[in-house]
Amino acid sequence: MTITHFDLQPWEKEFFENNLEMKQKFIHDSKIQNFLEEIKDVEILSVFIHTKVTKEIVDKLPNLKLVVTRSTGFDHIDTEYCKSQNITVCNVPAYGSNTVAEHAFALLLAISKQIPVLSERTKKFDFSFKDKLGFDLAGKTIGIIGTGKIGKNAIAIAKGFGMKVVAHDIYEDAEFAKENDFQYTGLDKLLGESDLLSLHMPKNEYTQKMMSLENIRKIKKGCVFINTSRGTLIDNKVLIQALDEGIFAYAGLDTMDGEEKMFAGEVSSDQKNLLSRTNVIYTPHSAFYTKEAVQRILQTTIENIEGFGAQPAL
């Protein structure tokens, strides 16, 4: 079978060449639409989150049988249409469960200890710090929205810091809650109790713009907001308003609404507003990006390809 990989780093290409015995084509660009004639006979597509596999793309690839995404999320793929065309879609469900949770706390610790601004001062030989008072995590209440594998790792880390955990998920894991001494609660109650709020949800119909202005109004003032899941969970204008009104004292973000265009150089006024704020830390959707996690991604992708036929479609 023939496979084409899109949006690759050089070391990823080397990994596939050394570990996957198959006729392979490597395209470093993320835009399939620019290469449709070149890959018209492809049977397997390997993509990342920036590569859109739409109905229009699928219709131009008559031999396509399998789409493997080197990510957990698969909202960049029209999975329903693929299913209707008997095309299997596979993801990597668990490569970064600890990795992304650790990044959420890296953002939180950077905020709580005022690390970015103080580090930047020392580069200018300014060693003052008394105007940047931090805060402890121990004893604080953290609200975890979404208790899948990443959320559960975040809970374990929070407990290690001596934090009180409250959580919300439409699918509650009562046994895990008992083992880790925390309670599930309704969303409204969680928003009202949390000193810190961390999102760990996929993008879907239920979560889209979940952090609406109506829900933001339920949060007590001075909350620290962490989002390492999907930017679409909160509109940029709502986030700006929450920061302006002091509902969020700080925001630690690894994702931002509309970041796809931002990465392509189209930075909106709202995005510029957020990026310019001293009480906002943003990393460019890089929470997953550790040596161990990316190797798990590639290895699982190879297993998905080699196991094609035994895999259920998403």
pLDDT in tens, the chain (314 residues): 889 999 998 999 999 999 999 899 999 999 999 999 999 999 999 999 889 999 999 999 999 999 999 988 898 999 999 999 999 999 998 788 899 999 999 999 999 999 999 999 999 999 999 999 999 999 999 999 999 999 999 999 999 999 999 999 999 999 999 999 999 999 999 999 999 999 999 888 788 888 999 999 999 999 999 999 999 999 999 999 999 999 999 999 999 999 989 998 999 999 999 999 999 999 999 999 999 999 999 999 999 999 985 444 45
Q: What is the CATH number of domain 97-282?
A: 3.40.50.720
pLDDT of residue 313: 47
Question: Which of 230, 266, 277, 296 is flagged as catalytic?
Answer: 230
3-state secondary structure of 189: helix
Largest CA distance in the chain: 65
pLDDT of residue 204: 81
Task: Identify the bridge partners of residue 67 per DSSP, sorted by sequence position.
Answer: 45, 89
The two structure tokens encoding residue 262: 């931002």
Q: Is 70 a catalytic residue?
A: no
| DSSP 8-state code for residue 33 | G
**CA 104 – CA 106 distance, rounded (Å):** 5
pLDDT of residue 7: 94
Q: Provide the CATH topology of domain 2-95+291-306.
A: Rossmann fold (3.40.50)
**CA 151 – CA 156 distance, rounded (Å):** 9
For residue 82, give every residue at least 6 positions away whose Cβ sits within 8 Å of its Cβ, in sequence order, or none: 53, 58, 67, 88, 89, 313
| DSSP 8-state code for residue 87 | -
Residue with tokens 């399939």: 32
Measured between alpha carbons, how far is residue 107 from residues 115, 195, 259 in Å?
10, 15, 18
Question: Which of 70, 76, 200, 285 is flagged as catalytic?
Answer: 285
3-state secondary structure of 111: helix
Q: Number of helices (H) and strands (E), helices first, in the chain?
A: 13, 12
Nearest-10 crossing angle of helices 115-123, 97-112:
60
Enter the pTM of the model.
Answer: 0.86
Q: Is 285 a catalytic residue?
A: yes
Do domains 2-95+291-306 and 97-282 share one topology? The answer is yes
| DSSP 8-state code for residue 168 | E
Measured between alpha carbons, how far is residue 175 from residues 10, 94, 121, 171, 277 in Å?
43, 20, 47, 12, 41
- Which residue ranges make up each domain of the chain? 2-95+291-306, 97-282
Buried b (16+ CB within 10 A) or exposed e, 249-260: bbbbbbbbbbbb
**CA 91 – CA 45 distance, rounded (Å):** 12
pLDDT of residue 309: 54
Question: Which of 76, 102, 259, 296 is flagged as catalytic?
Answer: 259
Contact 235, 247 (CB under 8 A): no
**CA 103 – CA 215 distance, rounded (Å):** 25
